[in-house]
Structure 1
């Protein structure tokens, strides 16, 4: 089985992400945390939405991310899972250019449903959406990868009992 794979954007699209060691769109549709690195370097954990072959992250006037992207739009982002109990280890690493764009409430709702569930009445008040959200300074940071590196580094776990803490020097 192929364990690593690389896709390069051709023009405005990657096209079908076939040939990867696992279903990349399904993996990126999961509510995982990505780590985003921008100018500095500055690394931050982010909730994201993979849509239109781009990663979408909330930002706005409260953040330095818009200024960082204006100065230098280069980014790297990794979405990964590692479960030592099962050995499942997968990653998608994206690199390209980012920019800020106008806030879109419908896109924001799609993103938040992934992480918070479909019942908005149960969401923490900090995530309340309205048409005035953009007026509060909210923006989208859109990260358009030029390259996606995909790896399945899964392994057969050892016979260590689940829940055992292994000390390292």
Structure 2
């Protein structure tokens, strides 16, 4: 099968997301092993700060790259005309085509990511709760990426 520019863009976008996913998965394993408690958030060790930074960076990058690069690349590879299509319509189309489990769920995951990136709870309890929510959301984002990979190999084989 001929490698079209759309297929090459899809491969590149997926490769970028896969790199983020691998680093994010490593951070998640370490976070689960470390299991920071609420009271530890006032005085984090240097290693814990680095781990949290790695998680935060990879979590925001994978979700950004999936939304701005991978999802549009999937639609283009499927020969969908997305030039004038708003993001919400792209999400709905991916859901209709069976690529995205739920456009509403992705929007909620995006809301959680935005709150995580821009809101700074003042209390250790608030920070701890925000991180727990972000960790659960990151795990769901990885599940969605795995679903994309499965579909790419079956619907868009090389």
The answer to whether the superposition gives a TM-score over 0.5 is: no
Which has a greater percent of helix?
A: 2
TM range (shorter): under 0.3
More strand by share: 1
TM-score by length of 1: 0.23
Q: TM-score, normalised by structure 2?
A: 0.24
